[in-house]
A and B are shown apart, each in its own frame.
Chain A
Amino acid sequence: MAGVRFEGVGKRFGSVEAVRELSLEIADGEFMVLVGPSGSGKTTALRMLAGLEAISSGSIFIGDRVVNQVAPRERDIAMVFQDYALYPQMTVFDNLAFGLRRRKVPGADIQRRVAEAARVLDLEALLQRRPGQLSGGQAQRVALGRALVREPQVFLMDEPLSNLDAKLRTQTRGEIRRLQQEVDTTTVYVTHDQVEAMTMGDRIAVMNEGRLEQVGTPEELYERPANRFVAGFIGSPAMSFFTGAEVGLNLPNVVGVRPEHVRPWREGLIGPLKGRIAFVEALGRETFVGVDVGEARLVVFEEGRAERDVGDEIEFGLVESGLRYFDADSGAAL
């Protein structure tokens, strides 16, 4: 196994700079999630690590080896693709064995490793089927198995759950995390879903417009976002931003506050603030109420199912310890 290091890595497609000066160190055995909106450069970064895209500048290390000029097949990596990329004409067994055969692994070893992966991923009954005969979840497990049997130095995963339905996604999230901890292989996982990032990553690297905005543990990103972008991207529903003037409070700079720190009015909160309800999201255990206050929109958190109607007035306040301050120009956390 090995760690991974990006050192000032850049990628240009003509005049478009997809990745700018990316420097990131991923420890041996770490589960690193690259997260960001589409076009943020996360997939390009992953593909450069895989050797599927050439690097325009900088260096990528796998272990101590610079791999800038190394072909994908010689990087000792395995990759899981968004659309699974299973060979449609091959059986599940042959799909799993393909990479091992290319590496001239002895037949008995191939049998053993495929059987082991099939057992771990519950694929034993499917080994003679073809990808066209599998459900989305099964195909996804085969794609994982294909990476697992290779026993590589690094797993690369490019949005592997985005084609699954919500329930299966939650289930597979846990399964991937469990497998990774079992084999303890360095993993770089790309997603645009911040919930996946928060629940799976040892650390998360947030990317935006080709730049690395912040790297840290899920807790660090949630509690101490480095800038407005990270603050707004991590957390669901997103952090609300406003200025003191907009809501009639004496607060400096741009203020960010997460829904759980915006509560119906009671003593001890900052406020009271009054606004008109713009939307109500009742999720059963909790209710998020979108409130327009002047130019700003804040999201109020209420326990249980709150009986609120769009257009009604609501009185609420802010939890002081939950307020975050950002520079109005640069967006950097203060």
Chain B
Amino acid sequence: MAVAAPLEAASREGSPGERPPGEPRLVGYLYLLPAFVVFAGFVLYPLYRAAYISLWDWDGLTAGTWAGFDNYAEVFTDEDLRAAFVHALILLLFYAVLPLLIGLALAGVMARARVRGLAFFRAVLFLPQVVAMVVVALMWKMIYQPTDGALNRFLGWFGIEGRSWLGDFNLALPSVGLVGTYVYFGLAMVLLTAGVQKIPTSLYDAARVDGAGPFREFLAVTLPGLRGEIAVALTLTTIYALRNFDLVYITTSGGPGNATSVPAFQVFSRAFESGQVGSAAAVGITLTVIIFIISLGINRIAERST
């Protein structure tokens, strides 16, 4: 026992001999501290403040009154806010689902035929991602213009009557959504076409010898092989879709009426235009929670089927 005591003491102190080489020591956390301070200062504290503010009825200037969870109840009862969340879900189709389907189709084709000049096409199709969203939004606003926009002029060549793409209550949301498709399909495509190249070609050979046609080959080899990339693409584009603000603000400002209003636009409009800072914070927190849950769900599903 007399020998055991000093040994125990040594292991408590974390003597180098007791620890497997390469295992982090407590001092390692010290190295994380600077990054954590920045993260806490710019992410965690604002999040906490937003959560706190969301419990108050506050115009941003004068003293606020305690509102409890009223602002959150409003997210589900206020028609404008409910509509904004529904619009965000519809935009998910255009920002996440459509780019993913286009990317998968391209990846499926590429899996069977190696495309020459792939790097060039990839760079070109990825370009919308690189261009600032403000520029993309302005460009599409011009393309969509009812009188002399490029789209209506193009349709005019075929004798098709032009429409007010961003002014029509039924067309505005899909029109904004398609701009999202244009921006994000490059991202999905780059992720998926890169992913398809790491699928062993012997799997395709095996499927062919086993009697699989092109579609079955896609289902049995390409799609499962891209699970990780699909999860990443879906997570990123879903986040972009739900937090979308600049595109809507520049192209339609949420209009006509409330037809293209989205949660992030509601946050801006309530916080800086109509003096409902508490409500804006509640919308922001709700949006954060929804994004978190959807991302977690996507990654859980991707992990489980591995």
**Interface residues in chain A, defined as those with a beta carbon under 8 Å from any beta carbon in chain B:** 47, 50-52, 71-73, 77-79, 81-83, 85-90, 98-99, 102-103, 132, 146, 150
The 3 closest A-B pairs by CB, nearest first: A102-B211, A99-B210, A73-B211
Chain A contacts of B274 at CB under 8 A?
none
**Given A88-B224, A98-B220, A102-B216; A73-B210 close (CB under 8 Å):** yes
Binds A, one of B11-19, B40-48, B198-206, B283-291: B198-206
Partner of A89, one of B208, B209, B216, B224: B224
B224 and A50 within 8 A (CB)? no
Residue in B closest to A52 when the chains form the complex, CB atoms: B205
Tell me, in angstroms, the Cα distance from A87 to B305 when the chains sit together: 13
Tell me, in angstroms, the Cα distance from A83 to B201 when the chains sit together: 10
Tell me, in angstroms, the Cα distance from A297 to B207 when the chains sit together: 49
A103 and B209 within 8 A (CB)? no
Chain A contacts of B178 at CB under 8 A?
none
B224 and A85 within 8 A (CB)? no
Most chain B C-beta atoms within 10 Å of own C-beta, residue among A52, A82, A90, A103: A52
A103 and B211 within 8 A (CB)? yes
Tell me, in angstroms, the Cα distance from A88 to B202 when the chains sit together: 12
Tell me, in angstroms, the Cα distance from A50 to B213 when the chains sit together: 16
Tell me, in angstroms, the Cα distance from A99 to B221 when the chains sit together: 14
Other A-B pairs, 12, CB within 8 Å; known A85-B206, A86-B206: A72-B205, A73-B210, A77-B209, A79-B205, A81-B202, A82-B202, A87-B207, A89-B227, A99-B209, A99-B210, A102-B216, A103-B211
How many residues of chain B get a CB closer than 8 Å to chain A's CBs?
20
Residue in B closest to A53 when the chains form the complex, CB atoms: B205
Tell me, in angstroms, the Cα distance from A235 to B224 when the chains sit together: 44
Tell me, in angstroms, the Cα distance from A102 to B227 when the chains sit together: 23
A99 and B211 within 8 A (CB)? yes
Tell me, in angstroms, the Cα distance from A102 to B208 when the chains sit together: 10
**Given A83-B202, A88-B224, A89-B224; A78-B211 close (CB under 8 Å):** no
Partner of A85, one of B203, B211, B213, B305: B203
A52 and B220 within 8 A (CB)? no
Mark each residue of chain B from 53 to 90: 1 if its CB lies under 8 Å from any CB of chain A, else 0. 00000000000000000000000000000000000000
9 contacts between A and B (CB under 8 A): A50-B209, A72-B209, A81-B202, A85-B200, A85-B206, A87-B220, A89-B305, A98-B210, A98-B212
**Given A87-B220, A87-B221, A87-B224; A102-B212 close (CB under 8 Å):** yes
Partner of A50, one of B205, B211, B212: B205
Chain A contacts of B305 at CB under 8 A?
89
Chain A contacts of B220 at CB under 8 A?
87, 90, 98
**Given A81-B202, A89-B305; A73-B221 close (CB under 8 Å):** no
